[in-house]
Structure 1
Amino acid sequence: MKHTTITGPAYEDATRTVAERVEDLLGRMTLEEKAGQMFHAVSLGGADVDHKTQRLVTDGLLSHFNVHQLPDARTAARWHNKIQELAAGTRLGIPITLSTDPRHAFAENQGASFAAGFFSAWPEPLGMAALRDPETVRRFADTARQEYLAVGLRAALHPTVDLATEPRWARQYSGFGQDPELTGKLAAAYLDGFQGHLVGSRSVACMTKHFPGGGPQKDGEDPHFPYGREQVYTGGRFEDHLLPFRDALAAGTSAIMPYYGMPVGLSRNGEAIEEVGFGFNRQIITGLLRNELGYDGVVCTDWGLLHDLNVFGMDLPARAWGVEHISVEDRVVKVIEAGCDQFGGESCPELVVELVKTGRISPKRIDESVRRLLRVKFELGLFENRHVDEDAAAALVGNPQFREEGLKAQSRSVVVLNTSDDVLPITSSTRVYLEGMSPAAIQSSVTIAKTPLEADLAIVRLDAPYEPRNDLFLEASFHAGSLEFDDTVTSRLQELSSHVPVVLVINLDRPAILTPLEPYCSAILATFGVSDEALTRVLTGTEVPEGRLPFELPRSTEAVLQTDSDVPGGTPDPLYAYGHGLRSLREPAV
């Protein structure tokens, strides 16, 4: 009797090369299935896969989702397994790639990052920059990688390597400060921790952003919003902002995300750069990134370039800066012609299908992008291991060792700006009056005073100032505008200091002008995502603060206005210079 060996399609054969599997799968795909790969949609997450996400998987044939709500590790793992089951039931069974914005620190902004919650909590990237230690960054990234893997998150929409050159810009907390070389070194360590030397089955694929550098925003406004669309290089420092991306490319970043910003008055190599958002900009994506820098990985746009939104009754225009006047279809064509592979935050593959059928986009060009996108899925081993273990996720994520390492990094990242009068460290006999800090975190280490008059010391925790805005969707989460504190804050510190020495602890998600506050403070500490528990360790001398400022602190608003937005540092006579940080709680500033 003759025996027939039955084999499955080549793309399901793990013994074949990634390139062979990609070509086999690509050759089996319909135009509709290819178009679905080119959209990276948002899914709400939660306990169950919502109806909209289900339709995008089964009808839209999407397989890349940026997930938001993850209540706990077990629920997150279960949700992941449910969406993978949906994908397994499609014609080709292409697995889902789940992505996320940063989740391991303290900033909560659904347009950019999520607070750690059940994950281990570490300092913001600015705090990592304050430590200037690539090994700490690598250890953080490896820990985050393990936690992501446990719940099925296989793509990180980070690191952010934008330079903090415009003091008023709202997104500085997610980057590594103002120095191009340090940012590049820390980005390489970050990528090594998440991806390894090569993207593989134990990697989380990273999307480095926001190419070619999102820091130099005109007047510090953010291009999520129409009034912040212009990106300026009046100091001629475009190459400084590009430098960290060169390091990220050398480290093998899996993907690149261009920013919303629209360059104004920019020229390179004698050629004027078109004044359109970078995601629409062929000179930047194809000319610079692909041709000049030799990058052949995935390019995914930032979220929402095509359609206007109305969420919870609030508007948010499409970030189609410079091409606001053209149709959605024309925007799709321009993004693809620019050299991008995927549309972030959008879910309209039918437009790509129609544009191919009408001859406006070639099938060959679609294949180029889908080939890159599929390659990452095979590199990650998603076809072989599409499910995760819910019990293992619950045991690993946020485990005591990871939490302790995160707490220690938080404490180490604190920057001592100034100290005098031997007010620190505090002891168990110190009577402490608190404002902005939870008594629960410190009460076992000191005596809590109910009023300043009963205290030996006042500890005041403040966030950096900003101008609240809430006219557009997401606007309230972006801390923009003035860097100056309200007069009531200065008056309160003055009043407290008339009764008791004041230790000011300021959380800097961007620089703040501390000049009016400084005379009333016996010590000033800067933090970049530090819990009360981690701060207590510093205040009591249990942990040594090692941080140095990742950006300078301007002396005044006038100084900020005198500085080019693209120049790292350089404000006249800063109150505290880049790199400032005392080595001891008892070391007075000179």
Structure 2
Amino acid sequence: MTTERPWLDTSLPVADRVELLLAEMTVEEKAGLFFQTMIALGPDGELSDGDAAFGLPSTAEYVNERHMTHFNLLGAAPTAGTIARWHNRLQELAASTRLGIPVTISTDPRHSFTDNPGAAMLAGPFSQWPDALGLAATRDEELVRRFGDIARREYLSVGIRVALHPQVDLATEPRWARQLQTFGEDAELSARMGAAYIRGFQGDELGAESVAAMVKHFPGGGPQQDGEDPHFAYGREQVYPGDAFELHLEPFAAAFEAGVSQVMPYYGMPVGTEYEEVGFGFNRSVLTGLLRERFGFDGIVCTDWGLVTDSEILGTTFPARAWGVEHLTPAERMAKILDAGADQFGGEKCTEILLQLVAEGVVTEERLDVSARRLLREKFVLGLFDAPYVDADAADDIAGSAEFRAAGDAAQRASITVLQSSSALPFERGAKLYVEGVDPEVAARYGQVVATPDEADLAVLRLQAPYEERGSAFENFFHAGSLDFAADVIAHVAEVAAAVPTVVDVYLDRPAILGPIVETGAAVLGNWGASAAALLDVLSGTARAEGRLPFDIPRSMAAVAASRPDVPFDTEDPLFRFGHGVAL
């Protein structure tokens, strides 16, 4: 085997193995390395014939015709074993190609409670943990590192080798839709937590037992104009009225120190800075000047999804996120991305455009080789050429094991943050409970569930932080707009609270305006992903409340609108400050 494919000789240095393989590759095979996009599982872990909802072709077309070997796994699966068996079938297909280059599977976060398919996946067969904001609320670097280590082992069991996370953007604009997966508003805390996260996934150095981490969104995606998200054209601008561009780099510097393997630049385009006013994925002054030259980063740079071509998502066509270069053709956009210093086109499968650029002499084969070396090097370092398959029979025992689930449950409890308390807490087991947003069967393990507030000793209401409805289903996964609760929600909480002491727990994927809730609730808590059982453990005194706010809670929308999007802790007279948390 090593005679026919000498790059499989494990006694050789990785750099030599890369050069041996690169010398055998055609332009078409090199081009396939540059594309990473979504891939779907077929029924029962078979290879997919495609996914019309997301415009995905068959797996055979990806591998055999487009020579692609990097994929982002879309959607959940009923069991870890299903994913593992699918992964092995995919590796078998890759091994049957001319050079047998193994596939690298990546994923968005899969261990939390969020259901936004543009940012993360439901936990499914994996252990379930708070989102990154909740991890930040614990202030516990060792817990974060342990999370990364457990997630690493679960990913490895099914063949996932790249984590499209952590997200170390600073949540300095309270309205921004993507802050749930950040570590909050404080640069120093985000730097510590992000580094611990990376070390959990990668270990002290990248190797065969690692999951490579892709830190995002360089150089910091938080300072969005009006908090709008650049997945959409109305959110394309990042602004820095407080001249705080450098502050947003601090968590990335810590990620580089931790040895992070990959970087994803954001969609947004900087306005009013020294950098070119184009999206960061097209931005040579950022990717080459700042990332490659100033920070000395020589790992893989993969763009965010869909910078080159338009995409069809859940029945709606979205334009390419080619902010600042909308006038360029797809081929011109691709050439600009490569010139900027990126190695991979996220969310794209248009290999024919890259081949056209090479044929026309716009992109040289030598330029292809620069990125191909990085992409192949990581496959070798991760051991994919040497051991591409996983033990599918063991996957269900590893992923979601009792030990891992218990660790996730403990983290959920530790992250819950009590903002306001009263003598109603902790409540005694067996109390009469009126609940909304809590599974009555779970609540019945803690007390007697009653039908109305008038019958209860305590009411427990769980709310979602408010957001504005937008035009399409995909847009509404990105919670944006006003942070004020609707009048009917405030009135309902007040009505319940008038009848019985009321605990209000809010899923703070954004820092909601909590003043009206605080005025009427006997106790108010915040969470970033916690089960009903975790919440009731805290409320009943079974577990201690240890969480502290990872951001300020603003007092009003007027204060939010007046704040500078790039500056942390900039809303006037916040209701609760960063670090606030009441002992219970």
Q: Normalising by structure 2, what TM-score?
A: 0.97
Shift of 1:118: 1.2
Distance 2:439 2:576 in 1: 28
Preserved CA contact (<8 Å) 2:76 2:121 = no
Q: Which residue of 2 aligns with 1:548?
A: 548
% identical equivalent positions: 53
Shift of 1:525: 0.7
Tell whether 2:91 aligns with 1:92. Answer: no
Distance 2:72 2:331 in 1: 23
Q: Which residue of 2 aligns with 1:529?
A: 529
Decide which of 414, 417, 427 is 1:415's aligned counterpart.
417
Distance 2:264 2:111 in 1: 20
Q: Which residue of 2 aligns with 1:235?
A: 242
Tell whether 2:372 aligns with 1:366. Answer: no
Distance 1:463 1:511 in 2: 11
Q: Which residue of 2 aligns with 1:130?
A: 137
Query: The residue matched to 2:499 in structure 1 has which SS?
Result: coil
Return closer, same or farther for 1:312/1:562 CA change in 2, 3 Å cut-off: closer
Tell whether 2:81 aligns with 1:74. Answer: yes
Tell whether 2:18 aligns with 1:22. Answer: yes
Shift of 1:476: 1.6
Tell whether 2:268 aligns with 1:261. Answer: yes
Query: The residue matched to 1:214 in structure 2 has which SS?
Result: coil
After superposition, the C-alpha distances for 1:405-434 in whole angstroms (9 at most, x for unaligned) are: 1001100101110112x1111112311110
Query: The residue matched to 2:372 in structure 1 has which SS?
Result: helix
Query: The residue matched to 2:122 in structure 1 has which SS?
Result: coil
After superposition, the C-alpha distances for 1:136-163 in whole angstroms (9 at most, x for unaligned) are: 0000000000000000000000000011
Q: Which residue of 2 aligns with 1:34?
A: 30
Shift of 1:274: 1.1
- Give the letter for the 1:158 counterpart: H
- Give the letter for the 1:172 counterpart: Q
Q: Which residue of 2 aligns with 1:382?
A: 384
Shift of 1:351: 1.4
After superposition, the C-alpha distances for 1:213-246 in whole angstroms (9 at most, x for unaligned) are: 0000000000000000000111111111111000
Matches within 5 A, 1:215-294: 215-267=222-274, 273-294=275-296
Q: Which residue of 1 aligns with 2:431?
A: 430
- Give the letter for the 2:47 counterpart: V
Distance 1:466 1:6 in 2: 58
Distance 1:120 1:543 in 2: 20
Preserved CA contact (<8 Å) 1:426 1:446 = no
Shift of 1:6: 8.0
Q: Which residue of 2 aligns with 1:49?
A: 47
Distance 1:551 1:395 in 2: 37
How many corresponding residue pairs? 573
Distance 2:302 2:144 in 1: 25
Distance 2:65 2:202 in 1: 32
Distance 2:109 2:28 in 1: 31
Tell whether 2:166 aligns with 1:159. Answer: yes
After superposition, the C-alpha distances for 1:480-507 in whole angstroms (9 at most, x for unaligned) are: 0000000001111111111111111011
Preserved CA contact (<8 Å) 2:256 2:297 = yes
Tell whether 2:483 aligns with 1:462. Answer: no
Distance 2:516 2:449 in 1: 28
Query: The residue matched to 2:374 in structure 1 has which SS?
Result: helix
Shift of 1:8: 3.7
Distance 1:233 1:355 in 2: 36
Tell whether 2:66 aligns with 1:60. Answer: yes
Decide which of 348, 356, 374 is 1:346's aligned counterpart.
348
Matches within 5 A, 1:434-445: 434-445=435-446
Shift of 1:122: 0.5
Query: The residue matched to 1:80 in structure 2 has which SS?
Result: helix
Query: The residue matched to 1:356 in structure 2 has which SS?
Result: helix
Shift of 1:260: 0.1
Preserved CA contact (<8 Å) 2:110 2:126 = yes
Preserved CA contact (<8 Å) 1:301 1:340 = yes
- Give the letter for the 2:269 counterpart: M
Distance 1:441 1:533 in 2: 6
Distance 1:67 1:386 in 2: 16
- Give the letter for the 2:453 counterpart: P
User: Structure 2: where are the runs of 5+ without partners?
Assistant: 50-57
Q: Normalising by structure 1, what TM-score?
A: 0.96
After superposition, the C-alpha distances for 1:74-105 in whole angstroms (9 at most, x for unaligned) are: 11001101110110011000000000000000
CA RMSD of aligned residues (A): 1.1
Distance 1:221 1:486 in 2: 20
Distance 2:34 2:298 in 1: 16
Distance 1:313 1:65 in 2: 22
Of 28-37 and 536-545, more deviation after overlay is shown by 536-545
Query: The residue matched to 2:386 in structure 1 has which SS?
Result: coil
Q: Which residue of 2 aligns with 1:270?
A: none
Of 354-363 and 157-166, more deviation after overlay is shown by 354-363
Shift of 1:68: 1.0
Distance 2:76 2:30 in 1: 29
Q: Which residue of 2 aligns with 1:112?
A: 119
- Give the letter for the 2:401 counterpart: N
Query: The residue matched to 2:434 in structure 1 has which SS?
Result: strand
Distance 1:567 1:447 in 2: 47
Distance 1:510 1:460 in 2: 18
Distance 2:312 2:127 in 1: 34
Query: The residue matched to 2:37 in structure 1 has which SS?
Result: strand
Preserved CA contact (<8 Å) 1:10 1:16 = no
Preserved CA contact (<8 Å) 2:314 2:474 = no
- Give the letter for the 1:355 counterpart: L
Query: The residue matched to 1:247 in structure 2 has which SS?
Result: helix
Q: Which residue of 2 aligns with 1:588?
A: none
Distance 1:34 1:430 in 2: 66
Query: The residue matched to 1:69 in structure 2 has which SS?
Result: coil
Shift of 1:512: 0.0
- Give the letter for the 1:376 counterpart: E
Query: The residue matched to 2:40 in structure 1 has which SS?
Result: strand
Distance 1:454 1:577 in 2: 36
Query: The residue matched to 2:515 in structure 1 has which SS?
Result: coil
Matches within 5 A, 1:461-500: 461-471=462-472, 474-500=474-500
Query: The residue matched to 1:61 in structure 2 has which SS?
Result: coil
Tell whether 2:571 aligns with 1:571. Answer: yes
Preserved CA contact (<8 Å) 1:106 1:121 = yes
Query: The residue matched to 1:310 in structure 2 has which SS?
Result: strand
Distance 1:84 1:172 in 2: 35
Query: The residue matched to 1:516 in structure 2 has which SS?
Result: helix
- Give the letter for the 1:35 counterpart: A
- Give the letter for the 1:10 counterpart: P
Query: The residue matched to 1:411 in structure 2 has which SS?
Result: helix
User: Structure 1: where are the runs of 5+ without partners?
Assistant: 268-272, 586-590
Q: Which residue of 2 aligns with 1:121?
A: 128
Preserved CA contact (<8 Å) 1:559 1:571 = yes
Query: The residue matched to 1:517 in structure 2 has which SS?
Result: helix
After superposition, the C-alpha distances for 1:90-145 in whole angstroms (9 at most, x for unaligned) are: 10000000000000000011111011111000111000100111100000000000
Decide which of 197, 203, 216 is 1:196's aligned counterpart.
203
Query: The residue matched to 1:70 in structure 2 has which SS?
Result: coil
